[in-house]
Amino acid sequence: MFFVDTLDLPGLGNRGYLAGGSRGAVAIDPPRDFAQVIEAAARRGVRIAYVVETHVHNDYVSGGLELARATGARYLVPAAARVAFARTPVADGDTVTVDEAGAEPLRLSAVATPGHTPHHTSYVLHEGARPVAAFTGGSLLIGAVGRPDLVEPRLTEDLARAQHASAHRLAAALPDETTILPTHGFGSFCSSGSTDGAETSTIGAEKKTNPALTTDADTFVADLVAGLDDVPAYYAHMGPANAAGPAPVDLTPPALATPHDIAARLAAGEWVVDLRHRLAFAAGHVAGSLNFEADGQLATYLAWLIPWGKPVTLLAESPEQLDDAQRELVRVGIDRPAAAATGGPTDWLPEGETPRSFRRATFAELAARPGVTVLDVRRDAERANGWIAGSVHIPVHELPLRIAELPQGEVWVHCAGGMRAAIAASFLDAAGREVVAVDDAFTSAPAAGLKVVRG
């Protein structure tokens, strides 16, 4: 019998996998902090014989190279990927034996599936002669495919067409009951579309619903390219880091930041990031600090907004929250916080100073305040589906450089649910603006009496 363990990375919207039999296993697209992969193998009592990459990732730093070194596993990377480290190159049709201990051997076969990248490779797990699972990386996702525009703009249309062909190749080669296990598509910006919340799928299910398998190539390419969303800025650094070979991670606690240190770092223009929930931050925080919730998409949005390489000091309510945040951030190449502190605002401020705060509100309260400046920080694709009449639109990832565009006076800021509005509100507050964070679902805006424009 074979097993497949799913390794969720909800902060990035990705998954890695450990698959194998009674003795041997293979790790697919592991995260940089690969301790959970080692722990999963230990629980199963198996040796990791292979570590494989479906592609050189553009959205996170891989742990594959170090995991292979730590375990002695062979590191399989698509042959056409241009990397600067020793690895076992994999070409279309190559097969390795993962485990021979069972009644039927487990084998892993490489299938060239270009589209997300030119060298993208999927891997099919066979139990004996029967294909049982396909690790599709950024190729065939649940209800979508990986976006084709992250490598080189001039290649986007060709790669979109390759995605269509790759999806059809997998669908033609594999039985309908074959489980598909993608890396992207669970909130990752590497996905070209929504998975509608589905957690699992099969080749047969995708044949019925996936646009790559239900529309002709020309229509699919046109729709795919037209629907591409914003690309997080930090993606530009992930591919080169993975191609060069990521360094081992250091998750030891950072230096302790005293109230004097925090004030000095803020005065020097460094970022001080408060990891607490947005409700706690709004109620009281260090003036000038920025709010990126540890339980939100911390890695995605902090890495997206911070100028690359700028020192960051983390403020957490507990050592556990700090440790989790460090682990999230190394996945996107933010390796060592400059300093950190735990507790709350009274622990982080010099004696005698009081925390700063701002209001939170609902859309119903906004409706009762006609004439105020309303700032929508959703992405372009979200706003296209409807926006509050008269609102100003600046996506949250553009806000730090565009605050001066906002009219003077009080600003009510909203997103789709509240998390990004809280990030934006913290930037406005740090800039000395009077701000109200709308902590409410945008779907409630029309019922609150606000005019929502569509078209």
pLDDT along the chain (455 residues), means of 10: 93 95 97 96 98 97 98 98 97 97 92 98 97 98 96 95 98 98 92 72 97 98 94 96 96 96 97 98 98 94 96 98 97 96 97 96 97 97 96 98 96 98 98 98 97 91
pLDDT at 193: 67
Alpha carbons 200 and 186: distance in angstroms, whole number: 11
Residue 374 CB partners (closer than 8 Å, separation 6+): 366, 388, 390, 391, 392, 411, 412, 413, 414
Q: For residue 63, count other CB atoms closer than 10 A to its CB.
A: 26
Structure tokens at 424: 């934006």
Beta strands in 179-275 (DSSP E): 179-182, 201-202, 271-274
Structure tokens at 228: 């591409």
pLDDT at 11: 87
Cα–Cα distances (Å) from 203 to 3, 160, 175, 217, 236, in that order, read 19, 20, 7, 18, 32
Unique residue bearing structure tokens 């400059």: 338
Residue 391 CB partners (closer than 8 Å, separation 6+): 374, 375, 376
pTM for the full predicted model:
0.94
What is the C-alpha R_g of the chain?
A: 24
pLDDT at 138: 97
Structure tokens at 196: 């509608």
Structure tokens at 247: 């360094």
Domains in the chain, ordered, with CATH? 3-244 (3.60.15.10), 259-348 (3.40.250.10), 359-453 (3.40.250.10)
Alpha carbons 56 and 89: distance in angstroms, whole number: 13
Alpha carbons 164 and 424: distance in angstroms, whole number: 38
pLDDT at 103: 81
What is the phi/psi pair of residue 252, to 5°?
-65, 150
Structure tokens at 272: 């001080």
One DSSP character per residue, 20-55 reads E-SSEEEEES-BSSTHHHHHHHHHHT-EEEEEE-SS
SS3 180: strand
